[in-house]
Structure 1
Amino acid sequence: MKNSALHLAGLMAATLFSSTALADELRLGLVLEPPHLDPTAGAAAAIDEVVYANLFEGLTRIDQNGAVQPSLATDWTISDDGTRYEFTLKEGVTFHDGTSFDAEDVKFSLDRARAEDSVNAQKGIFAPITKVEVLAPNKIAIEIANPQGNFLFNLGRGDAVIVAPESAETNQTNPVGTGPFKFVDWQQGSKVILEKNPDYVGDDVYLDRAIFTFISDPNAAQNAMLAGELDGFANFPAPETLEIFEADPRFNVVVGSTEGETILATNNKAEPFNDLRVRQAIAHVIDRQAIIDGAMFGYGTPIGTHFAPHHPYYVDLLDTYPRDLERAKALLAEAGYADGFKATLKLPPPTYARRGGQILAAQLREIGIDLELINVEWAQWLEDVFTNKDYDLTIVSHVEPFDIGIYANPDYYFQYDNKAFQDLIATLNVVTDDAEREKLAQDAQRILSEDAVNGYLFQLAKTGVWDARLSGMWPNSPVEGNDLTQVKWAE
């Protein structure tokens, strides 16, 4: 009885502690700290997890159902041939530093994103644009070379947010947008603080302050939540402890879907991975369910190619390379590696990578592939793996929506160069008929699976844990980001 009373007292104390943020403040945990805060100049999803829809806005935005909604553009018209878009812009909007927003800022942002020297991580989505024309301070026209079925969706991604020429160069450390929250402070290694923008033109938000705290260690994340030091984790890094939170009435646990294809990314130009037979051998060894169960405690959906299973164009290719150790050994022997070989596996901080890497290493050891596991921090991963392509294998989750087109870029960090695939994606990009787009997307999936470009593991689940008194948190992640515009505390 005494122990029960102490337990109850502890719960009450934790509840009181967590209530200090009620009504005006949200303390949200994130696994990864962004390398900087400019979504137009970096590939890290961690950037958008802080700033998307909160600090920066685009012409359009993506809602929690994956649908395109107006944002800085209130409405638009499309020419009959699908190659000219005319947008009407919100009026009276200002950037957080007080500078005005108008069509010139839109032209600057889009021309900057598609420029030859652009550092935009998704520069390809702007390639179809042939002209950006200012029609009036509140009207802009965008012309594209060919019809694009996903053009409005792409304009709603974090890479396409509108920035001002006055502040564009300093957005990495002092981001200035037009959104409902403005940047206050970045305590590097710890947290980013945003506050409500009193001059925001749009629907009012409920929160006055949002604090994003970076905790990559699963145990530390669990302790911070149970102690009331955080109000939530949009994607909780310790899936093995979700039962604890499910049994605690203070919390809501919501398991949804993400766009995150979790893969054993492969350097297709590095020996011996430039040999298809070696990649096929690895594909024959991977036990996806064992990785999902061991690393993610059952949360995740097996995939056989780089495509989200919840997408209507998805095709099930899990049986392309069934687990077959004898066939894998034979393929290695054919490639000249009968005795196996040694390689490195660089692992960024997320749970799926660190734990998944240990399981994968054990699986590949069964056919003589000996992996050296190298743990790296996120900034180092971005520099070594993504930018410099200095790696053999790595594990990472690609959370961009409908991003199969990255394989058409031979300079992307996979270094996969297939002209037939590139031509197929070029056609897919200009086709608007849904049935034809579906066929092309499925053909693209098959090519990647058959070429075993990467080891396709699972679709990352979104395991959200947050205070039961919160509403407005997204259960799914159709785009990378934590949209706080509708988040509020119960009255």
Structure 2
Amino acid sequence: MMTNKPFALGLAGAFALTATLAVAQQSDMTIGQQLEPPHLDPTSAAAGAIDSVLYSNVFEGLTRFGPDGSVGPGLAREWEISDDGLTYTFHLAEGVKFHDGTTMDSEDVKFSLDRARAEDSVNAQKALFSGIESVEATDPATVTVTLKNPDGNFLFNLAWGDAVIVAPESIENIKTTPIGTGAFMFDNWVQGDRIELTKNPEYWGEPAMLDAVTFKFISDPTAAFAAMMAEDLDVFPAFPAPENLPQFDADPRFKVLVGSTEGETILAINNKLPPLDDVRVRQAIAHAVNRHEIIDGAQFGYGTPIGTHFAPHHPDYVDLTEMSQHDPEKARTLLEEAGVSLPLQLKMTLPPPSYARRGGEIIAAQLRQVGIEAEIENVEWAQWLEATFRGYDYGLTVISHTEPLDINIYARPDYYFQYDNAEFQKLMEEVGVESDPDKRSEMFRQAQTTIAEDYVNAYLFQLPLLTVAKTGVEGLWENAPTQAADMTAVHWAE
């Protein structure tokens, strides 16, 4: 017995040490993501993958979105709005530093907002800042923004990833070495593989609960499933293989979260490309599409049908799906009325996400039934941004718009689907300055109806947020009011 006692104590000590090490090892987390960012500047690209990695984690704005979609304080801790709604006075948080150790103050805010609204701005959401008349650095901790007209969405607009605060000194290398003020700092980018973030030890606000976060890029759904099952990943938001969710749900090692996003998934149409410039042709395409087949086939039943560009969970949503119900016979009649020679050849570009690649195959088969031959071109994200989004080199494309309350993109004639409706543009100007909630709601309903009647695009479904995580992961966003994997409050359960 005496000879066994030291061994037993040693074994107990070893177990204790192992347990301690196990706990210590739970200070980092690996996140799966299907799309890799083309670069790391959220203020100069439309790629949502940039925000997925950096929003709130590395970069912060004056305001920010919460997990419930509400807009709250960010770098601006409080503000006053003048009685006429034109002047916003922002009071900045104290002791904020950029990750390079330099102080963040009102001059950085002025620089960021002026840069975003400048004539030569390449900000993908430049329209968010077009209503700004002037930005004044009143003192180091105070910024005064004057608007041209009252804008009930202004605080909302400032919460977008496109409105984050950057330092003038960081702009030269921001696309590869982002320097923000967030709870995590950029550490390393192995292109084609991963981005590594580390905890900011001098963060001005509530510190992150993790010491390190790695975003691992896995584009193939089968590989994503294998990586999660092998526990190489801890979390995979926007999991790309919904057919595998029942397996994860039945496995005690994992949990499945099914939430909502702001992602209106559409079959986007190039409205200036003949014969797509004829509303009858666009209407024919909308009637040729069977949303339920796409949701079932590409999403395995996950997704809410939509008939316009508006989130179904928004209180002002109007269900207009009946306007574009599946009706192949009507589609053929409309094509005949428009004088279209069949078969009609159209190029359909498909970016990497599973909903686009899988959904595009189904849509192509549906269009073929009415005499439209959609030539599929699978493209990488950077190519989609350059050729489809900026170059208008497409007839059709499948994409999910994950920005919140973004129906105003239809008021931009140079936007990639090139819809030009002066009355709609005027309506969006009016909703921007209207402060009465009931009147704004009516305007949003009118806007939804207008683009549905013009069949600007074929509206498919609202993209769900399907997250697979290890059971010990806590603090994840279940819904996605903006495209972000906010890790600032994520932690391992004790």
Aligned equivalents of 1:401 and 1:21: distance in 2? 38
Q: Describe how 1:389-428 pairs up with structure 2 within 5 A.
A: 389-428=392-431
Q: What is the DSSP-based 3-state SS (H/G/I as helix, E as strand, rest coil) of the residue aligned with 2:77?
A: strand
Identity of aligned residues (%): 58
| 2:219 paired with 1:211 | no
| 2:199 paired with 1:166 | no
**How big is the shift at 1:316?**
0.5
Give the TM-score normalised by the residue count of structure 2: 0.95
Give the AA of the match of 1:142: V
Give the AA of the match of 2:313: H
Aligned equivalents of 1:211 and 1:430: distance in 2? 42
**How big is the shift at 1:453?**
0.5
Give the AA of the match of 1:115: A
1:182 corresponds to: 185
Q: Describe how 1:357-376 pairs up with structure 2 within 5 A.
A: 357-376=360-379
Give the AA of the match of 2:257: V
1:116 corresponds to: 119
Corresponding residue to 1:468 among 466, 471, 477: 471
| Gaps in structure 2 of 5+ consecutive residues | 1-18
| 2:343 paired with 1:340 | yes
**How big is the shift at 1:339?**
2.7
| Gaps in structure 1 of 5+ consecutive residues | 1-15
Give the AA of the match of 1:267: N
1:87 corresponds to: 90
1:156 corresponds to: 159
1:225 corresponds to: 228
Give the AA of the match of 1:104: E
Q: What per-residue deviation string (whole Å, max 9, x for no partner) do you get for residues 291-323 of structure 1?
A: 000000000000001110001110000011222
**How big is the shift at 1:20?**
9.0
Aligned equivalents of 1:370 and 1:476: distance in 2? 37
Kindly indicate whether the alpha-carbon contact (under 8 Å) linking 1:258 and 1:399 is maintained by their aligned counterparts in 2: yes
Give the AA of the match of 1:150: N
**How big is the shift at 1:326?**
1.6
Give the AA of the match of 2:446: D
1:277 corresponds to: 280
Corresponding residue to 2:255 among 247, 252, 256: 252
Kindly indicate whether the alpha-carbon contact (under 8 Å) linking 1:263 and 1:458 is maintained by their aligned counterparts in 2: yes
Q: What is the DSSP-based 3-state SS (H/G/I as helix, E as strand, rest coil) of the residue aligned with 1:235?
A: coil
**How big is the shift at 1:23?**
2.4
Aligned equivalents of 1:205 and 1:325: distance in 2? 53
1:12 corresponds to: none
Kindly indicate whether the alpha-carbon contact (under 8 Å) linking 1:329 and 1:338 is maintained by their aligned counterparts in 2: no
Aligned equivalents of 1:374 and 1:226: distance in 2? 31
Q: Describe how 1:298-309 pairs up with structure 2 within 5 A.
A: 298-309=301-312
**How big is the shift at 1:343?**
1.1
1:449 corresponds to: 452
Aligned equivalents of 1:331 and 1:355: distance in 2? 27
| 2:31 paired with 1:28 | yes
Q: What is the DSSP-based 3-state SS (H/G/I as helix, E as strand, rest coil) of the residue aligned with 2:136?
A: strand
| 2:317 paired with 1:314 | yes
Q: What is the DSSP-based 3-state SS (H/G/I as helix, E as strand, rest coil) of the residue aligned with 1:381?
A: helix
Q: What is the DSSP-based 3-state SS (H/G/I as helix, E as strand, rest coil) of the residue aligned with 1:400?
A: coil
Equivalent residues, number = 474
| 2:331 paired with 1:331 | no
Give the AA of the match of 2:330: R
1:63 corresponds to: 66
1:5 corresponds to: none
**How big is the shift at 1:68?**
1.3
1:128 corresponds to: 131
Aligned equivalents of 1:323 and 1:471: distance in 2? 42
1:10 corresponds to: none
Aligned equivalents of 1:339 and 1:86: distance in 2? 60
Corresponding residue to 2:237 among 234, 237, 243: 234
Q: What is the DSSP-based 3-state SS (H/G/I as helix, E as strand, rest coil) of the residue aligned with 1:283?
A: helix
Q: What per-residue deviation string (whole Å, max 9, x for no partner) do you get for residues 263-307 of structure 1?
A: 001111111111111101111111101100000000000000111
Aligned equivalents of 2:91 and 2:26: distance in 1? 35
Q: What is the DSSP-based 3-state SS (H/G/I as helix, E as strand, rest coil) of the residue aligned with 1:482?
A: coil
Q: What is the DSSP-based 3-state SS (H/G/I as helix, E as strand, rest coil) of the residue aligned with 1:373?
A: strand
**How big is the shift at 1:200?**
0.7
1:8 corresponds to: none
Q: What is the DSSP-based 3-state SS (H/G/I as helix, E as strand, rest coil) of the residue aligned with 1:458?
A: strand
Aligned equivalents of 2:112 and 2:287: distance in 1? 45
Give the AA of the match of 2:449: R
**How big is the shift at 1:148?**
1.2
1:196 corresponds to: 199
| 2:371 paired with 1:380 | no
Q: What per-residue deviation string (whole Å, max 9, x for no partner) do you get for residues 372-403 of structure 1?
A: 11111111111110111111110000000000
- RMSD of Structure 2 on Structure 1 (CA): 1.2
Give the AA of the match of 2:445: Q
Aligned equivalents of 1:377 and 1:20: distance in 2? 40
Pair 410,374 (structure 1): closer, same or farther in 2 beyond 3 Å = same
**Runs ≥4 residues deviating over 6 A:** none
Give the AA of the match of 1:219: T
Q: What is the DSSP-based 3-state SS (H/G/I as helix, E as strand, rest coil) of the residue aligned with 2:349?
A: strand
2:484 corresponds to: 481
Aligned equivalents of 1:345 and 1:354: distance in 2? 11
Q: What per-residue deviation string (whole Å, max 9, x for no partner) do you get for residues 206-228 of structure 1?
A: 10000001111000000000001
Q: What is the DSSP-based 3-state SS (H/G/I as helix, E as strand, rest coil) of the residue aligned with 2:321?
A: coil
| 2:86 paired with 1:75 | no
Q: What is the DSSP-based 3-state SS (H/G/I as helix, E as strand, rest coil) of the residue aligned with 2:461?
A: strand
Corresponding residue to 1:288 among 277, 281, 291: 291
Q: What is the DSSP-based 3-state SS (H/G/I as helix, E as strand, rest coil) of the residue aligned with 2:146?
A: strand
1:51 corresponds to: 54
Give the AA of the match of 2:472: R
Give the AA of the match of 2:212: R
Give the AA of the match of 2:166: V
